[in-house]
Amino acid sequence: MQRFLDAVAAGTRPRPAEFAALSDLDRADAAYLRERWLDIPLPEREFLLDEAYELADEDLALDFTALGRVGLADPEPSVRLRAIQALWESLDPAAGDLLVTLVETERDLDVRAAAARSLLRFLEAAEYGRLDERTARRMTAALLEAAASSVEGLRAAAVEALGPSGDPRVPAVIEAAYESGQPALRLAAIRAMGYSAREEWAEYIAEQLAADDPEMRFEAALAAGALGSEELVPALGEALSDDDAEVLFAVIEALGDIGGDEGVELLESYRDEAPPGLEDAVEAALEAARGIQFRRFGELP
């Protein structure tokens, strides 16, 4: 570790294979990294976190949680942003505490919004009983406060992150964002609806599958697949005529995610008329939809 940090502090950027030195750090190595962190020039600190993010995405055996926690306390906003990104899959309790503190106290609005958005995965875990209730309550409280902000970007990030929460105050926050008339807030609300597991939002998502804005139609298709409600299958069937390729791809995937008899029938009938280049997407969606169809009848996929 010492030689690695000496080299980086001197401006030598490590090769990908050398990043194992920063993976899965024990308490002593994490403390040493924290002690030496600001000896490393800013461009190299940014590089370490950027590279850690990329490498962890490629190799699941790498764990840069300790590096990310150190980066969250960096005095430079650009480094804190990269640390949040590097922790994108982490459910580490200590990282969660640092992230919610950023939501509560961070002065840089971009960092605060990124930290707010990162709490989504923690609230998803809480709904499955994988996060203690005290921590979930603190995160929800911080996000509810951020969702009342006058800063659109922060408010949107908080609304989106609140999607999975079972807190009874959340649906009103999502609906207020949806009805706000502000595009960023409406997009955040649609995403939150998809994460919510609440059937009540299906009609809102269905409405936006026919919106004028292709970005909204795309997000609505993603939300439909995430929500998984069979109520959305008819609207998704109509959206198979969308002339935007990205929207169409998302619609096909959503039908695969939802499954059911009607979804399978739609995909089977659409298979022969799918635009060139989408044949594989339709086949993959059919395979997924049939698997869900079988499981709903208690059979093996």
Quick check: 22 and 55 in contact, CB under 8 A?
no
Quick check: 128 and 159 in contact, CB under 8 A?
no
Show pLDDT as tens, one digit a residue, over the chain (301 residues).
889 999 999 999 999 999 999 999 999 999 999 999 999 999 999 999 999 999 999 998 999 999 999 999 999 999 999 999 999 999 999 999 999 999 999 999 999 999 999 999 999 999 999 999 999 999 999 999 999 999 999 999 999 999 999 999 999 999 999 999 999 999 999 999 999 999 999 999 999 999 999 999 999 999 999 999 999 999 999 999 999 999 999 999 999 999 999 999 999 999 989 999 899 999 999 999 998 765 454 444 4
CA distance 72 to 85: 10
131-135 contacts, C-beta under 8 A, 24 or more apart: 131/91, 131/96, 135/93, 135/96, 135/97, 135/100
Give residues with Cβ within 8 angstroms of 156, minimum separation 6: 113, 177, 184, 185, 187, 188
Give residues with Cβ within 8 angstroms of 43, minimum separation 6: none
For 159-194, b/e burial (b = at least 16 CB within 10 A) is: bbbbbbbebeebbebbbebbebeeebbbbbbbbbbb
Give residues with Cβ within 8 angstroms of 267, minimum separation 6: 252, 255, 256, 282, 285, 286, 289
CA distance 235 to 68: 42
Place of tokens 């502000």: 182
3-class DSSP assignment, residue 182: coil
What region, left, alpha or beta, does residue 49 occupy, with left being phi > 0 and alpha being psi -120 to 50 degrees?
alpha
Residue type, 45: R
Instruction: Kindly list the distances between the CA atom of residue 39 and the CA atoms of 6, 34, 42, 299, in Å, as whole numbers in the listed order.
Output: 9, 10, 9, 59
Place of tokens 């298979």: 271
**Count of C-beta atoms within a 10 Å radius of residue 149:** 17
3-class DSSP assignment, residue 235: helix
238-263 tens-digit pLDDT: 999 999 999 999 999 999 999 999 99
pTM of the model: 0.91
Quick check: 264 and 293 in contact, CB under 8 A?
yes
CA distance 161 to 143: 8
What region, left, alpha or beta, does residue 279 occupy, with left being phi > 0 and alpha being psi -120 to 50 degrees?
alpha
Both tokens assigned to 192: 């939150």
